C-alpha cells in the first residue's frame, strides 16, 4: 500500500509516514536552516491557498455589498451565517479528525481513508441540506416576499458542494501538500470571478444565484483537486477502512467539539442574527460589510494554525512534547505581531478603506472596521496554544472555552445591540473572542505536560 500511495498520490513515503522518534525526545526545538526552509515553503503555500480562498469569499461579499440593496445583502449575510453554523459540525466531525487522524493513524492507507471520509461528507451534509431546505420552506410560508427565502434555499441546495472543497483542500494538507491545494483554490477563484462578471452583466445578482455560483465553482475546483491527487485512479473498494469505522473514529475525536461548534457559532454569529432581527436585514448587511476586512485576516490566522496542526500532532505522537510546545509558542508570537499590525493600519485608514471598498455606501459606519479588527488579534493570541491542545488529543478544552464565551456573547449581544445598535454588535463580537482566547491560554498553561 505504501508503494501504491506513493504512485497514486505523488507523495514520497517519508512525507506521510511518521518518522522514528528522536533519541532526545525532550530536546527543545532547534531552528535549523532546513526546518525554516520547509516550514517557510509550507507556510507560503498555505497562506497563498487561504488567501485565494478567502479572497474569493471576500470578493463575493464585497461586490454583493456594493451591488445589492441593504435588505438583500442582509439576507445573504444571515444565510451565510447559517452556513457557517452548519460548517462548524462539518469541521469537527470531518475536517479536524481527518487532519489529526489521517497522518497519524492511516498514513499507510490514505486512499481508502479519504474515500471513506468523502462518503461520510455526503451522508452528513446531505442530511443537513435537507434540514436547511425545510427551514427555507418555513420561511417562505411565513414571509413569501422576504429576500431571505431565496438566500436560504440557495444555501441549502449548494451546501454539499460548498463544503466539498473544504474537505478536499484538507486532504491536501493531510498529505503535507499545501501547494497542491493552491491549484484547486485558484480554479475556484477563476470560476467565481467569471460567474460574478456574468451575474453583473445580465443583472442576475441575487442571494440565491450567488450561492449557486459558489457551489458550482466549489464543485469544479474539487474535481480538479481530486484528479490531481489521483483520487479517481486508486482502488475501487475502500479496502479495510469502512465509512462506518471512519465515522466512529471521527465521532470519538469530535464528540467533545460538537457542542463546542454550536457554542462557537453562538459566540461568533449570534450578533448577525440579533442585529437583523432587532434592527432589520439592512443592519445585518452593514455589520457584515464592516466585518469583511477582519474576517479576511481571521481566516488567514486560522489557515496558518491548521497548517501546523498535523505537524504538532506528529510531534505529540512521537513524544516530542517540549518541541510541540515551542512550536506553538512561536506560532502564537508570529500571528499576534501580524494581527496587531493589521489592526493598527486599519485604525489609521478606516475611512479611506471604506471609500476604497464600498465607495462611501457605508461611510457612516467605517469606525466599526478597526473595532472589529480586534477580533483577529484575540484569535491570534491563542491559535498556537489551541492547535497544540487539539494535537495532543485534548479537544475538550475547546468546549470549555466556548461554554464560557457563548453566554458572554449572547448576553452582551442582547444588551449591547439595544444600547448601541450596530456598534454594540461589533463590541459583542470582540468581547466573545477575547473571552474565548483567555480561557484557551489558561487551559494550555494549566495542562500538565509530560516532557
C-alpha cell at 184: 484547486
Q: Are 103 and 18 in contact (CB under 8 A)?
A: yes
CA–CA separation, 59 and 188 (whole Å)? 12
Nearest to 404 by CA among 379, 429, 437: 437
Sign of torsion, CA 241 243 245 248?
A: positive
Q: Are 320 and 399 in contact (CB under 8 A)?
A: no
CA–CA separation, 60 and 63 (whole Å)? 6
What is the Cα 98 distance to its own chain's centre? 14
What is the Cα 337 distance to its own chain's centre? 21
Per-residue pLDDT of the chain (451 residues; tens, 9 = 90+): 333 333 333 333 333 344 444 444 444 445 555 555 555 666 677 778 877 888 899 899 999 999 998 899 999 999 998 898 888 888 888 888 888 777 767 766 777 888 889 999 999 899 889 988 998 888 888 776 788 999 999 999 999 999 999 999 988 888 878 888 898 999 999 999 999 999 999 999 999 999 999 999 999 999 999 988 877 665 555 456 778 888 888 888 877 778 777 888 778 888 999 999 899 999 999 999 999 999 889 888 887 887 788 788 878 877 778 888 888 889 999 999 999 999 999 999 999 999 999 988 999 999 999 999 999 999 999 999 988 888 887 767 777 888 899 999 999 999 999 999 999 999 999 999 999 999 999 988 887 776 5
Which whole-number Å values give the CA distances from 419 to 189, 239, 414, 416, in the listed order? 40, 59, 9, 5
Q: What is the pLDDT of residue 180?
A: 86
Q: What is the pLDDT of residue 325?
A: 87
Number of residues written out for the chain: 451
Nearest to 418 by CA among 223, 252, 249, 278: 278
CA–CA separation, 12 and 6 (whole Å)? 6
The string of DSSP codes covering 159-176 is HHHHHHHHHHHHHHHHTT
CA–CA separation, 93 and 291 (whole Å)? 27
Q: What is the pLDDT of residue 235?
A: 55
The string of DSSP codes covering 291-353 is HHHHHHHHHHHHHHHHHHHHHHHHHHHTT-HHHHHHHHHHHHHHHHHHHHHHHHHHHHHHHHH
Q: What residue spans define the domains of the chain?
A: 2-8+36-446
C-beta atoms surrounding 76 within 10 Å = 29
**Which residues contact residue 9 at a Cβ distance below 8 angstroms, ignoring those fewer than 6 apart?**
16, 110, 111, 175, 229, 230
Amino acid at each position: 500500500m505504501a508503494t501504491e500511495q506513493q504512485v497514486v498520490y505523488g507523495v514520497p513515503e517519508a512525507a506521510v509516514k511518521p518518522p522514528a522518534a528522536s533519541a532526545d525526545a525532550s530536546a527543545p526545538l532547534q531552528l535549523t536552516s532546513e526546518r525554516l526552509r520547509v516550514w517557510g515553503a509550507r507556510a507560503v503555500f498555505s497562506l497563498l491557498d487561504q488567501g485565494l480562498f478567502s479572497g474569493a469569499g471576500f470578493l463575493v461579499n464585497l461586490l454583493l455589498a456594493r451591488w445589492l440593496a441593504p435588505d438583500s445583502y442582509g439576507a445573504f449575510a444571515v444565510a451565510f451565517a447559517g452556513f457557517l453554523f452548519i460548517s462548524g459540525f462539518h469541521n469537527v466531525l470531518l475536517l479536524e479528525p481527518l487532519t489529526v487522524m489521517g497522518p497519524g493513524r492511516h498514513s499507510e492507507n490514505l486512499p481508502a481513508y479519504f474515500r471513506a471520509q468523502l462518503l461520510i461528507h455526503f451522508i452528513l451534509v446531505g442530511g443537513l441540506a435537507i434540514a436547511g431546505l425545510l427551514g427555507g420552506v418555513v420561511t417562505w410560508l411565513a414571509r413569501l416576499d422576504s429576500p431571505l427565502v431565496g438566500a436560504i434555499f440557495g444555501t441549502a441546495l449548494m451546501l454539499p458542494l460548498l463544503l466539498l472543497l473544504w474537505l478536499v483542500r484538507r486532504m491536501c494538507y493531510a498529505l503535507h501538500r499545501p501547494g497542491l491545494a493552491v491549484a484547486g483554490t485558484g480554479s475556484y477563484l477563476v470560476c467565481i470571478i467569471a460567474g460574478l462578471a456574468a451575474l453583473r452583466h445580465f443583472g442576475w445578482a441575487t442571494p440565491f444565484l450567488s450561492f449557486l455560483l459558489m457551489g458550482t465553482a466549489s464543485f469544479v475546483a474539487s474535481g480538479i483537486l481530486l484528479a490531481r491527487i489521483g483520487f479517481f485512479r486508486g482502488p475501487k473498494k475502500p479496502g479495510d477502512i469502512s465509512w462506518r469505522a471512519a465515522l466512529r473514529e471521527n465521532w470519538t475525536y469530535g464528540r467533545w467539539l460538537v457542542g463546542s461548534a454550536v457554542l462557537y457559532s453562538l459566540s461568533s454569529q449570534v450578533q448577525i442574527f440579533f442585529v437583523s432581527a432587532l434592527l432589520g436585514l439592512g443592519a445585518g448587511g452593514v455589520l457584515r460589510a464592516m466585518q469583511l476586512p477582519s474576517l479576511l485576516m481571521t481566516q488567514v490566522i486560522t489557515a496558518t494554525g491548521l497548517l501546523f496542526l498535523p505537524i504538532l500532532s506528529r510531534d505529540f505522537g512521537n513524544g516530542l512534547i517540549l518541541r510541540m510546545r515551542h512550536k506553538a509558542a512561536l506560532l502564537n508570537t508570529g500571528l499576534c505581531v501580524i494581527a496587531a499590525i493589521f489592526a493598527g493600519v486599519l485604525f489609521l485608514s478606516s475611512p479611506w478603506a471604506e471609500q476604497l471598498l464600498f465607495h462611501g455606501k457605508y461611510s457612516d459606519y467605517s469606525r466599526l472596521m478597526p473595532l472589529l479588527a480586534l477580533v483577529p488579534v484575540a484569535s491570534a493570541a491563542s491559535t498556537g496554544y489551541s492547535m497544540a491542545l487539539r494535537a495532543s488529543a485534548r479537544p475538550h478544552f475547546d468546549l470549555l472555552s466556548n461554554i464560557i464565551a457563548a453566554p458572554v456573547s449572547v448576553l452582551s449581544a442582547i444588551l449591547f445591540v439595544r444600547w448601541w445598535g450596530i456598534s454594540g454588535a461589533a463590541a459583542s463580537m470582540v468581547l466573545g473572542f477575547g473571552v474565548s482566547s483567555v480561557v484557551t491560554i489558561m487551559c494550555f498553561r494549566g495542562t500538565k505536560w509530560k516532557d
